[in-house]
Amino acid sequence: MQMNYRKAIKLAALIVSTLLIATVSAATYSYMYIQGSGTITSGLLSWAKGADAPSGSVVAGATVTGMNFSILADSPMNFTDSLHLVNVDTLSHTFSIESTRTAGDGSQFSTFDMVIYASGGARVAKISIKAGESASSLSIPGSATLYVRFEINPVTGQSSGYMAFTVKLTYVV
């Protein structure tokens, strides 16, 4: 009897593929699921305009725009009650603040600082916007308000100048 190698190879390939399919089909799988949703809520910290906020300033959600201060030459100015940082949550929150000079010339100002105070008058942080300083690990108690003051002093003899800035406050929800 003569063996047909071609048929034997086809039969072997068929047996091997059948075994592979059977092995894969016999595997047991476990599944894991995630079920969730996304909800838009108001933030736990919010800004509010103070009595000394510039007339064009606007609070819109988490953003304050138009904080454009006008300073007389050779006259240091403190805008004592510019903004309020309000904790609408009953829990305390830790936050950080980062300032960035975005345009203009900081050398035209001796100081351009943002100072944060607690309601009792204790200083929480002093951040030089001119130098682009940051502060971290700051805390606001539950249901409390912190007060933001801008202290700006132009260089003596400087009759004009301009500096733009941004301040980013980051907190853990």
Percent of the chain with pLDDT over 90: 63
pLDDT digits (tens, 9 = 90+) for 119-162: 899 999 999 999 999 999 999 999 999 999 999 999 999 888 89
pLDDT digits (tens, 9 = 90+) for 88-113: 999 999 999 999 988 898 899 999 99
Q: Which fold would CATH assign to domain 45-171?
A: Jelly Rolls (2.60.120)
DSSP 108-127: GEEEEEEEEE-TTS-EEEEE
Domain locations in the chain as residue ranges: 45-171
Residue 150 pLDDT: 95
User: Among the listed ranges 24-28, 63-67, 79-83, 135-139, which one has the minimum average pLDDT value?
Assistant: 24-28
* List of residues 6+ apart from 130 with CB closer than 8 A: 101, 106, 109, 111, 112, 113, 163
Q: What is the pTM of this model?
A: 0.75
Looking at every residue in the chain, the average pLDDT score rounds to 87
Residue 12's Cα: distance from chain center in Å?
64
Picking from 137, 130, 122, the residue whose alpha carbon sits closest to that of residue 171 is 137
Query: By three-state DSSP, how is residue 84 classified?
Result: strand
pLDDT of 1 higher than 60: no
> Taking a C-beta distance cutoff of 8 angstroms, is the pair 163, 103 a contact?
yes
The C-alpha atoms of residue 167 and residue 84 are separated, in whole angstroms, by 14
The C-alpha atoms of residue 94 and residue 137 are separated, in whole angstroms, by 6
Report, in angstroms and rounded to the nearest whole number, the Rg of the chain calculated over CA atoms.
Answer: 32
pLDDT digits (tens, 9 = 90+) for 155-172: 999 888 899 999 999 998
